[in-house]
Structure 1
Amino acid sequence: MARIVVLGAGGQVGQSIVAEAVKRGHEVTAVDQDKNSLNGISRQANAVAGDVTSRDVIQKQAQNADVVVVALTGSARPEHANAARAIVDVAGKLGNKAPAVIQVSSGGLLENTDGERILDTKDYPASERKEALDQADALDVLRAAKGSVKWSSIAPPPRNFGPGRRRDAYRTASDRPVVDAQGNIGISFEDFALAVIDEVEKPRFRNKRYTVGN
């Protein structure tokens, strides 16, 4: 059993990750700025309302955790990068006792077949670009981290990512989206959560960015 803290647990992705972790018998603390959003999480998780970019909040929760999963949604401000900076700072203070970090990233940071970042292509939704750029900054913070910071960054597909049928299977790739035999990309929240908790239990992508899809 692992002690897992999920930041941004009130969002749909965060709720799916909490549910998967609880189902597997892990001890879960679910943190979100919107306490009302925590009403939807599993009752077996410990719900905590707090600023998910605050060093004090993160340190309080991280000091007894094995893994911190960052599953923030939205980008009214540079919260992804701010959260990453706070986590790196806390991990540095905790040293060898610092938890591993799994960041839920953006599919817009993946590359197309021309090697171009998907968020930089003309077809990428303008409404999602600000958050993707914020995620890019967060990934840069993690990559630049030194010392005791153990991190993984998992990007969902850039489209067809939402609630759906659980297949209990997924495939991984590094810089480009996973594509099936018909040329489709996508994954459900449920199977994405499966991949996240698999990385908690058996880390395969330590200090790397990767992606998953069906």
Structure 2
Amino acid sequence: MSDIVVFGAGGTAGSRIVVEAFNRGHRVVAAVRRPEATSYLPAGVRVVTGDATSERSVRELAPEADALVVAIGGGERTLWPDAVRALLGALRGMPAAPRIIHVGGGATLLTPAGTRLLDEPDFPEEYRDAASGQAEALDLYRSSADGVSWTYVSPPPLEFRPGERTGRYRTGTDHPVTDAEGRSALSYEDLAVAVIDEIEQPRHRNMRFTAAY
């Protein structure tokens, strides 16, 4: 059993990660900005006010956690790099610091030519700010040298939506995982499975991985 703090627990990804972790018997803290709006989370999950972009908030929640899951969204481009700076700053030098599991963007994955999907000329402009923010977050993790353990999780770049929990998926690193038809798809529910699997059995320390069917 692990102690898991989920920042962004009220969101589409975060709420499913909370449910998956709780159903597997982990102790879960749901860190959200508006605790009063989380009545749909399972009874037994502790809901607190928390902000992944605040070093103070991270320091308050980190000492008794085994893992900090970052599943935040809906903000400005700077939201994700600000969170990484706060997390690394808070955990730097902390004895027995928890791991960071950062749910990032699929647009940072690479094309067969080795370029990022977000840099392709036909990438939708309305998603560019968020994708650029997530890309900066990944770069910050990769350039960190302070001993903090992190994992960045990228969902498929296009076919990623709420659906069924099958409990199955395949993983890759920097390129999308595709099926025989070239599709890369995953439900939010199975992304949550992949996240909790990584917490229970770490396989991608200090690196990014992606998952799809």
Does the alignment reach a TM-score above 0.5?
A: yes
- What RMSD over aligned residues (CA atoms) do the two structures have, in Å? 1.3
TM-score by length of 1: 0.95
Counterpart of 1:9 in structure 2 is 9
Cα distance, 1:125–1:35 mapped onto 2, change above 3 Å: farther
The CA deviation at 1:50 is 2.9
Q: 1: distance between equivalents of 2:123 and 2:180?
A: 23
1:19 lines up with 2:22 in the alignment: no
SS at match of 2:38: helix
The CA deviation at 1:77 is 4.8
Counterpart of 2:154 in structure 1 is 155
Q: 2: distance between equivalents of 1:119 and 1:152?
A: 20
The CA deviation at 1:165 is 1.8
1:39 lines up with 2:76 in the alignment: no
More helix by share: 1
Cα distance, 1:37–1:156 mapped onto 2, change above 3 Å: farther
SS at match of 1:81: helix
TM-score by length of 2: 0.96
Q: List gaps (5 residues or longer) in structure 1.
A: none
User: For residues 1-214 of structure 1, what are the structure 2 equivalents within 5 Å?
Assistant: 1-94=1-94, 96-214=95-213
CA contact (8 A) 2:52 2:87 kept: no
Give the number of equivalent residue pairs: 213
Matched residues, percent identical?
A: 41
Letter in 2 for 1:92: R
* Residues 8-51 of structure 1: per-residue CA shift (max 9 Å, x gap): 11101000000000000000001112334423322221111233
The CA deviation at 1:52 is 2.5
Q: 2: distance between equivalents of 1:187 and 1:116?
A: 22
SS at match of 2:137: helix
Q: 1: distance between equivalents of 2:18 and 2:103?
A: 13
